[in-house]
């Protein structure tokens, strides 16, 4: 499991009736966010967003360690 700690920026934003919490992992340039209840403790919201960041980092690490696919990725848009 990836260790999240160094190089992580956490931001809390009050948006109307909820709080948006974002976590940015600097070494991998990965960002995740959650929306939470503003009555929840800051520590619980922080732990939730860090858990999501760990999940996303582990998922991307597992996908990159799989053997390379010869299939064309099913992505929208045009690479210029």
Q: What is residue 24's predicted lDDT score, i.e. its pLDDT?
A: 97
Tens-binned pLDDT, residue by residue, of the chain (80 aa): 445 668 999 999 999 999 999 999 999 999 999 999 999 999 999 999 999 999 999 998 888 766 555 556 666 776 66
pLDDT of residue 16: 93
- Neighbouring CB atoms inside 10 A of 53's CB total 24
Token pair for 68: 């390379």
Strand partners for 31: 24
Query: How far is C-alpha 24 from the geometric centre of its chain's CA atoms?
Result: 7
Cut 0.95: pTM above it? no
pLDDT at site 80: 64
What pLDDT score does 3 carry?
57
């Amino acid at each position: 499991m990836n260790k999240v700690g160094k190089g992580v920026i956490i931001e809390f934003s009050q948006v109307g009736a909820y709080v948006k919490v974002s976590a940015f992992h600097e070494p991998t340039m990965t960002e995740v966010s959650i929306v939470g209840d503003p009555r929840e403790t800051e520590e619980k919201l922080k732990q939730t967003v860090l858990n999501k960041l760990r999940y996303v980092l582990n998922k991307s690490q597992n996908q990159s360690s799989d053997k390379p696919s010869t299939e064309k990725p099913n992505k929208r848009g045009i690479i210029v």
